[in-house]
Structure 1
Amino acid sequence: MWERKVNIYNVFELRCKTTCYFGVGAIEKIKDIAEWLSSSKKDKVLIVSDPVAYKVTGAWDKVEKALKERNIGYVLYDKVTPNPTTDQIDEATKIGRDFGAEAVIGIGGGSPIDTAKSVAVLLEHKDKNARELYEGKFIPERAKPIIAINTTHGTGTEVDRFAVASILEKEYKPAIAYDVIYPTFAIDDPQLMVTLPYKQTLYTSIDALNHITEAATTLARNPYSILLAKETVRLIATYLPQALSNPNDLNARYYLLYASAIAGISFDNGLLHFTHALEHPLSAVKPELAHGLGLAMLLPAVVKEIYPSTAEILAEVYEPIVPGLKGNPAEAEKIAKGIEDWLFAMGVTQKLEDEGFKDSDIEKLTNLALTTPSLDLLLSVAPIKAEREVIARIYKNSLRRM
């Protein structure tokens, strides 16, 4: 395979809207980023992370040293949880405002980086709060510069304009998408991922798989989103088993991270639809549910529904996982079962029923999918009409194994 002909220690710039430094050793680019902060007179920064990621990955030692060398002051907010909340965003924003932060650095996976993006908006909109941001009460016109130091290979948030947060009291988990929250700089260094636990390695990679499944099949799909989708599936099918069996395999981590990044670019261009719109209610109701696990449990049922209208695309995209598809609409059951079998083989053996959801929850989940702010936009670009009956059927078909 040609991948072995690539020097994974050659740190290159993955150019999209964000300048992303990519490769083994990319964390050293924090020195250049600190120099940029200093020369831009941004000498106070807020750092956003969870209680573990910034330390256990080794990122913190590099970041702190680079900031100190450039006399850049910082404050740290490290209370972000999986499925971050608007309360956490407001708490971090207050710390940043009190300190006078002029930029925000997010260290971690999707949760810390999405929180950092949200805080960067609110630091520029001092009369607003996180609930107003996520309920669409205003459209942000600006944000402080965002630097994303990514520690997982799944979300793609380090190279896109999306962020997600939960409003717990309403059981809402909306998404936002604004150009002002593209990170100015991002760091994708596979070295920061070797400490990822087994399940997080699995779930984050499946997040990327869902990104491209949706981006390749929305009404906004385009040749670019489909091209990236094909390569993402090939890379995940090849390298996820390797990373699961040997967490220290930097080559496997490199290509899973690359798959995650191009999947982020894919859905930044092609958007998302059913799987994310229906997962958000799951982890809004049960905040302890891993986002990638929720997506994995829904994916086979979503593909079964949309395959008849997107058969030619999905047959080609999913060839590495479900080989031999002809692009015939009658293959919907075959591809759905094939994807589910692959997920089980990778180690995702749960369905919604195993996570405590019941038939009696379907109506509530369907209502949340249809009423949570922003999810209507995702559903509006689904390849088939997102009728209540379709949404309910996806949930029902995800309760138990096919």
Structure 2
Amino acid sequence: MVESKVDIYNVFELRSKTTCYFGVGAINKIKDIADALKNIDVDKVIVVTDEIAYKVTGAWDVIEPALKEKNVEYVMYTKVSPNPTVEQIDEATKLGKDFGAKAVIGIGGGSPIDAAKSVAILLEYKDKSATELYEQKFIPTKAVPIIAVNTTHGTGTEVDRFAVASILDKKYKPAIAYDCIYPMFAIDDPELMKTLPYNQTKYTSIDAVNHVTEAATTLVASPYSILLAKETIRLITKYLPQALAHPEDLTARYYLLYASAIAGISFDNGLLHFTHALEHPLSAVKPDLAHGLGLAILLPAVVKHIYPAQPEVLAEIYEPIVPDLKGVPGEAEKIAAGIENWLFTLGITEKLEDIGFKEDDIPHLVELAMNTPSLGLLLSMAPVKATKEAITEIYKNSLKSISK
């Protein structure tokens, strides 16, 4: 496809199980969404966001008047942090319950939208807590309607059934995946990405690269998840440098956002394995660690470990980053070094030692990876057996640069 021939101002509907309004100006579809809510007797909503995203992106300047015009009352929860916690979800849920909210609008990146999905479940299961939800003490089958207004190009959460939260006292960061938390509607508007900070532009895009690396190589990978993976990496390789150099370039933002969305659909179908399962313990132990940075640190070592089992697929999808691979097992070192060098060109040079982890920390990280609720399912999807030794090796290979 020749990207230059696409009208980025043409707002189209990207349909998975979510109707996602995609394109420059898509935020204006909030009026149609408010009408749809009123048609199902939703007249009160809780807005779940962080302190910055809903304002600095300009999203609220459009959303608030639309809600008022359509007589949809709202209450706001703005305390969501990066790596949201079960305590925050419980606080937001109480606020929503007391207000009588019948739907949830999440505004932000993965953290606010994941928190919004969690609140949507707990508004239906009023006697349950976020800890019970994320420790899988019950299996939800219903949630109030979710509207996801996305402000980053990385997570894909606006078009998938996944959510993540941290249980800080146990150093757990589990994931959930339920059909009831597909958003009813999502908005993917590149205009909302222009204020995304430089590092977050990098880290969220690397999140999408990891999504497809895993989705293309799980035990349940399909031609569909592999096709989306190939296009995701091609687009990110092409447009991420442009977005970093020119943050207000809407074409670059458009294609990074599109890559993120199709990556979300890819792993919604193909699932995930090592990189996410091993990153969650990192940001559970260090909640200030950006998820995408943690993934970037692990990515070369993970690809090195799984390449002998999936050389043809990985050689094909990584061709824009590491060209001329033949797709044979002996290239594991070459592709790992090539991915690491590409990350270095983006200014992502950190390894585990640089962010405060030591070799002595690895046994605890391995234990968390193997025992945190839900992460075992991800590990079971890996193309090679996720033994204690394998996980240890990946963490060790992520302590320092592979190239040195």
TM-score normalised to structure 2 length: 0.99
Deviation at 1:141, TM superposition (A): 1.5
Equivalent residue, structure 2, for 1:253: 253
Equivalent residue, structure 1, for 2:217: 217
Equivalent residue, structure 1, for 2:352: 352
Deviation at 1:40, TM superposition (A): 1.5
Name structure 2 gaps, 5 residues minimum. Answer: none
Write out per-residue CA displacement over residues 72-113 of structure 1, whole angstroms, 9 at most, x where no aligned residue. 100000000000000000000000000000000000000000
1:3-22 matches, within 5 Å, as 3-22=3-22
Deviation at 1:178, TM superposition (A): 0.1
Secondary structure at the aligned position of 1:124 is classed as coil
For residues 176 and 170 of structure 1, the distance between their equivalents in structure 2, rounded to whole angstroms, comes to 17
Equivalent residue, structure 1, for 2:160: 160
Deviation at 1:329, TM superposition (A): 0.3
Secondary structure at the aligned position of 2:221 is classed as coil
**Matched residue type, 1:79:** K
Equivalent residue, structure 2, for 1:34: 34
1:1-400 matches, within 5 Å, as 2-400=2-400
Secondary structure at the aligned position of 1:71 is classed as coil
Write out per-residue CA displacement over residues 208-253 of structure 1, whole angstroms, 9 at most, x where no aligned residue. 0000000000001000000000000000000000000000000000
**Matched residue type, 2:131:** R
For residues 51 and 140 of structure 1, the distance between their equivalents in structure 2, rounded to whole angstroms, comes to 29
Name structure 1 gaps, 5 residues minimum. Answer: none
For residues 23 and 293 of structure 1, the distance between their equivalents in structure 2, rounded to whole angstroms, comes to 27
For residues 347 and 179 of structure 1, the distance between their equivalents in structure 2, rounded to whole angstroms, comes to 37
For residues 11 and 218 of structure 1, the distance between their equivalents in structure 2, rounded to whole angstroms, comes to 33
Deviation at 1:37, TM superposition (A): 1.1
Aligned residues: 402
Write out per-residue CA displacement over residues 163-194 of structure 1, whole angstroms, 9 at most, x where no aligned residue. 00000000000000000000000000000000
**CA-atom RMSD in angstroms:** 0.5
Secondary structure at the aligned position of 2:68 is classed as helix
Write out per-residue CA displacement over residues 259-301 of structure 1, whole angstroms, 9 at most, x where no aligned residue. 0000000000000000000000000000000000000000000
**Matched residue type, 2:79:** K
For residues 347 and 81 of structure 1, the distance between their equivalents in structure 2, rounded to whole angstroms, comes to 25
Structure 1 runs, 4 residues or longer, greater than 2 Å off: none
Write out per-residue CA displacement over residues 367-386 of structure 1, whole angstroms, 9 at most, x where no aligned residue. 00000000000000100000
For residues 147 and 84 of structure 1, the distance between their equivalents in structure 2, rounded to whole angstroms, comes to 18
Secondary structure at the aligned position of 1:8 is classed as coil
TM-score normalised to structure 1 length: 1.00
| Identity in percent | 76
For residues 177 and 374 of structure 2, the distance between their equivalents in structure 1, rounded to whole angstroms, comes to 9
